[in-house]
Amino acid sequence: MLFFRSEEHVNNWCRKKKIDKGAVFSLEQGWQLAQQWYHDRLDLRWRRKTTDEAQQLFETIGLTGDFWKLAAQSVSE
Amino acid sequence: MSPFSVDHKDFDNRIRLQTYFYFVEKGTAPTSRQLADTLFSTPAGIKDSFQRLANAHIFVLKPESGEIWMAMPFSAIKTQHRVSVGGRKYYANCAWDSLGIPSLRCPHAPGGSDALIRSRCEDCGEPIELEVKNGQVHGSGEVIHFAVPAAKWWDDIGFT
CATH of the domain at B53: 1.10.10.10
Option in A13, A27, A44 nearest B142 (CB): A27
CB contact, 8 Å: B100 with chain A? yes
pLDDT of residue A63: 87
The last residue of a domain, from among B50, B71, B92:
B71
In CATH, what number is assigned to the domain containing residue B127?
A: 3.15.10.60
Is residue A4 one of the residues assigned to a domain? no
pLDDT of residue B152: 77
Give every residue of chain B whose pLDDT is below 70, as ranges: 1-6, 107-111, 154-160
Is residue A75 one of the residues assigned to a domain? yes
CB contact, 8 Å: B25 with chain A? no
| Number of domains into which chain A is organized | 1
CB contact, 8 Å: B32 with chain A? no
CB contact, 8 Å: B128 with chain A? yes
Cα-flanking dihedrals φ and ψ of residue B3, to 5°?
A: -60, -20
C-alpha distances (whole Å) from A69 to each of A30, A48, B47, B149 are 17, 17, 33, 8
Residues B16 and B34 in one domain: yes
| pLDDT single digits (tens) A18-52 | 999 999 989 999 999 999 999 999 998 998 888 88
| Nearest Cα to Cα of residue A2 among B155, B135, B128 | B128
Q: What angle do CA B84, B71, B120 make, to 5 degrees?
A: 45
Is residue A50 one of the residues assigned to a domain? yes
Is residue B143 one of the residues assigned to a domain? no
Element (H, E) at A47: none
Element (H, E) at B68: strand B68-71
Distance from CA of B140 to the nearest CA of A (A): 8
In chain A, residues with a C-beta closer than 8 Å to the C-beta of B126 are: 5
- How many angstroms separate the CA atoms of B150 and B160, rounded? 9
Option in A16, A22, A40 nearest B148 (CB): A22
Q: Within 10 A of B100 (CB to CB), how many other CB atoms are there? A: 27
Which residue range(s) make up the domain with B46?
9-71
Q: pTM here?
A: 0.89
Distance from CA of A56 to the nearest CA of B (A): 13
pLDDT of residue B16: 96
Is residue B105 one of the residues assigned to a domain? yes
Instruction: Select from A4, A12, A69 the residue whose CB has the most chain B CBs within 10 Å, as the one to mutate to test that interface.
Output: A4
**What residues contact residue B90 under an 8 Å CB cut-off, 6+ apart?**
B23, B27, B74, B75, B82, B83, B84, B101
Q: Is the ipTM of this complex over 0.90?
A: no
Name the closest residue on chain A to residue B147, using Cα atoms. A22
| Nearest Cα to Cα of residue B68 among B18, B9, B11, B10 | B18
Q: Residue A62 carries which DSSP code?
A: T
